[in-house]
Amino acid sequence: MEVIEDIIKILKTKQTFVLTTHIHADGDALGSLLALGLALLNNGKDVVMIHSEPVPENYRFLPGAEQVIMVQDLKEKEGFEVGIALDCTDLSRVGDAEQLLQKADCIINIDHHISNEYFGQINMVETEAAATGEMVCGLLVKGGFTITPDIATNLYTAIITDTGSFRHQNTTANCFRTAAYLLECGAAHSFIQHNLYEQRSLQNLRFMVNVLQTLSINENGQIAWMTITKDISTEADNNDSLIDYAKSLKGVEVGILFKELDSGEIKVSFRSKSYVDVNQLAAHFGGGGHERAAGCSIKGDLKEVKQLVIRKTEEYLAKRRAAE
Ligand SMILES: [Mn+2]
């Protein structure tokens, strides 16, 4: 039996579900979580949707977002028949919710990252899918679940955000087919665009100006990077597309964003334009992701981490030139 059919059977026959997604959730993570959660709730299931942090303010417009809770808000922490992780490469990515998932009788892993570690009893991993939301849509359709306007809005947001509004290289014909279908199901296109791209706070825009001022470029102009130091970091710094500015420069192949975290680690995000496999690059430092978008966290001094990462990226680019 196909994995997708196994999952549909479990969704239909089991009663209690705990759903979660990765820390620092983005539109795909939350949209997928909410879409599957709402579909199960609409079918009379007992569903708990968990995130290890409060839902980021910029995603609170998503239908059902107020139903996502944190582990500490949960009274009964055991007895779930099924645990589902969405958009997570490995179990540690779910943060606080990891123990909760491990206590479930069965873990289902639904994800599209090439670096996925197949941590579930059932693993639906489709690396050619642009978004986990695209996979969830396929799952719901195949299972005969009704895609309500609220579910459609969540899935449409997932696809919009993970494809950079259909600009990234991961955009396929299936993304457009799925998006078109979701619009037919009632996805609120204008409402989503407004909330994603027209609700920026002045503080956030000023933060972006500060980050853009840190833009640097290597000697041959193929690597550009920006740095979010603790002193320019603000609560309004939630911006997944900031790194795209580094990549947008003519001649640049790899864009990098360094962010100093309170934990003493440096969060490093990579984007590549057309040929560098940044999943491999991130994997070198213990991270992962996709070919054109990946990340990792490295312990250490900001200056040293930057040197290390930029040198490694230059090596990758040099290897590529040598191979040509
Ligand atoms: Mn994703």
For residues 54 and 11, what is the distance between their CA atoms, to the nearest angstrom?
A: 26
Q: Given CA atoms 57, 93, 270, 170 in this order, what sign does their dihedral have?
A: negative
Can you give the pLDDT at residue 323? 76
For residues 111 and 129, what is the distance between their CA atoms, to the nearest angstrom?
A: 9
- Environment of ion ligand 1 (residues, CB < 5 A): 28, 87, 132, 162
Fold of 3-197: inorganic pyrophosphatase (n-terminal core) (3.90.1640)
| Rg (the chain; Cα; Å) | 20
For residues 142 and 136, what is the distance between their CA atoms, to the nearest angstrom?
A: 10
Q: How far is the CA of 322 from the centre of ligand 1 (A)?
A: 33
* pLDDT tens for the chain, residues 1 to 324: 699 999 999 999 999 999 999 998 999 999 999 999 999 999 999 999 999 999 998 999 999 999 999 999 998 878 899 999 999 999 999 998 999 999 999 999 999 999 999 999 999 999 999 999 999 999 999 999 999 999 999 999 999 999 999 999 999 999 999 999 999 999 999 999 999 999 988 888 899 999 999 999 999 999 999 999 998 877 666 666 889 999 999 999 999 999 999 889 999 999 999 999 999 999 999 999 999 999 999 999 999 999 999 999 999 998 877 777
Nearest to 226 by CA among 186, 258, 265, 180: 258
Q: How far is the CA of 220 from the centre of ligand 1 (A)?
A: 32
Q: Where are the domains of the chain?
A: 3-197, 202-323
CATH assignment of 202-323, among 3.40.50.150, 3.10.310.30, 3.40.80.10, 3.40.190.150: 3.10.310.30
Q: How far is the CA of 286 from the centre of ligand 1 (A)?
A: 19
Q: What is the largest CA-CA distance in the chain?
A: 60
pTM of this prediction exceeds 0.85: yes
